[in-house]
Amino acid sequence: MNKVSNAGVAVRNEQSPGDFYPTPAEATEAVLRHVSIPEGDVWEPAAGRGHITDVLRRHGHHVIETDLYADVHGRGEKQDFLTIDTLPSGVSTIITNPPFNLLSNFIVHGLAFNPELLILHAPLPSLGSTGRGKIFNQRPPSVLIISNKLRIDTPNGIVRSIFNHLWYIWDRRNPVPKISWTEAK
């Protein structure tokens, strides 16, 4: 059965455990141009097949990968982010592209770790939601909107997303929220 994934592309359910779809490298490059990663390790807690972590490593960052379906995707350690209650030692930054149906849970759980930097990739329509509105009012993120539509690598080939995407950024060094736009090319 087909569904529209959080990437805004049609994918087959059985081919995307955990709502897997890869973050295009240019989206990660765009956020790395916008925000500096503080000293310390970076944790990708829904690492999938390593599309974000490969870019981070190319930039010289030390990255820890975990994923609920690590056994399927073949990267990192198999762990449910939402049941982990201690920030791994040495980690200053959490970055991921969570499954859309768990986005609010990932926001609340990620903020509870109080990392120096929390960065989450999501579709633009995720800004509008009653539940998330309450969370955002309490902990307003900076938002980096990717103004061009991303090309997503799906099991059916590379497809341009229906939605635009953004990065939510909670940066303890810059707590005043700001909205910015960039192109991911």
Ligand X SMILES: C[S@@+](CC[C@H](N)C(=O)[O-])C[C@H]1O[C@@H](n2cnc3c(N)ncnc32)[C@H](O)[C@@H]1O
Binding site for ligand X (CB under 6 A): 17-23, 45-48, 51-52, 67-69, 73, 80-82, 96-99, 102
CB nearer to ligand X: give 63 or 73: 73
Instruction: Give least dist CB 175 to ligand X, A.
Output: 25
158: left (phi over 0), alpha (psi -120 to 50) or beta: beta
The CA-atom distances, in angstroms, between 125 and each of 37, 47, 132, 160, 166 are 26, 22, 11, 16, 9
Q: Least distance in Å: CB of 168 to ligand X?
A: 14
Q: Which of 95, 61, 81, 70 is nearest to 20 (CA)?
A: 70
Q: Which is nearer to ligand X, 23 or 182 (CB)?
A: 23
Cβ proximity to ligand X, 165 vs 170, nearer residue: 165
Smaller CB separation from ligand X, 97 or 142 = 97
Give the nearest distance from C-beta 20 to ligand X in angstroms: 4
Strands 117-123 and 91-96: what pairing? parallel
